[in-house]
Amino acid sequence: GAVVSQHPSRVICKSGTSVKIECRSLDFQATTMFWYRQFPKQSLMLMATSNEGSKATYEQGVEKDKFLINHASLTLSTLTVTSAHPEDSSFYICSARDQDLLRKETQYFGPGTRLLVL
Amino acid sequence: AQKITQTQPGMFVQEKEAVTLDCTYDTSDPSYGLFWYKQPSSGEMIFLIYQGSYDQQNATEGRYSLNFQKARKSANLVISASQLGDSAMYFCAMRGGNTGGFKTIFGAGTRLFVKA
């Protein structure tokens, strides 16, 4: 199957700093990428849908100025957590969608990034 | 609006026995896809099985089968011959069609414990 990578896999930062997480589709072009957040022992919550070359669509309750998303190319989307606070500590997972919507498994997940804000 | 419901926070099963994990959904899209993912403690999302809304037969993938009852809007996962390595979190997910923006949403998850 297709491969999606995330970098970094884990990051620890001080409160008030910004953290950038990269999501790359390694062997396919992804016009759409999704960003999810998962708190411990909870489900994946969709934060935003990122479309290449256009502004991201954020889910209700997600602050667009807090979580900046850039999808500059067909293989790269970035999520920047600005002015991070301890409550932003979470597991962030990206997912990239292959253009072939007819294939059943068209959405591939990255390995996730664990963010800890001190 | 789309919704996925998993009502079993935790399930226990004896090794080599079969177990059913429940999932119900709601959507206004006529075309949609249903998925099950396994998430071990490492956090990675492992795709298990897929069922399309227009598929006539229930999906099967090795020891995994999906009991799809469209009228009841349920998509239960059946794991046969459970193994110790099956202990993990299991998420039911749905990808909507055009109305749902082709987004995939997840249920709350069920933690499965396989006993030796």
CA pseudo-torsion sign B110, A42, A38, B88: negative
pLDDT at A54: 85
Residue B72 contacts A, CB cutoff 8 Å: no
Q: In which band, very low, low, confident or very high, does the pLDDT at A1 lie, cut at 50, 70 and 90? A: low
CA distance B69 to A115: 39
Query: Taking CB atoms and an 8 Å cut-off, how many pairs form between chains A and B?
Result: 46
Q: What is the pLDDT of residues A61-101, one digit of tens each?
A: 999 999 999 988 889 999 999 999 999 999 999 999 876 65
* Mean pLDDT (whole number) for B27-51: 92
CA distance A92 to A98: 20
* Mean pLDDT (whole number) for B65-81: 97
pLDDT > 90 fraction of chain B, expressed in percent and rounded? 82
* Mean pLDDT (whole number) for B51-59: 92
Structure tokens at A3: 């491969």
CA distance B39 to B80: 18
CA distance A79 to A20: 6
Residue B106 has pLDDT above 90, yes or no: yes
CA distance A75 to B73: 35
Of B45, B95, B107, the CB nearest to A93: B45
- Tell me whether residues B43 and A93 touch, CB distance under 8 A: yes
Q: What is the pLDDT of residues A8-65, one digit of tens each?
A: 999 999 999 999 999 999 988 888 899 999 998 899 999 999 888 888 999 999 999 9
CA distance B106 to chain A (A): 6
In a 3-state reduction of DSSP, which class is residue B99? coil
CA distance B28 to B8: 24
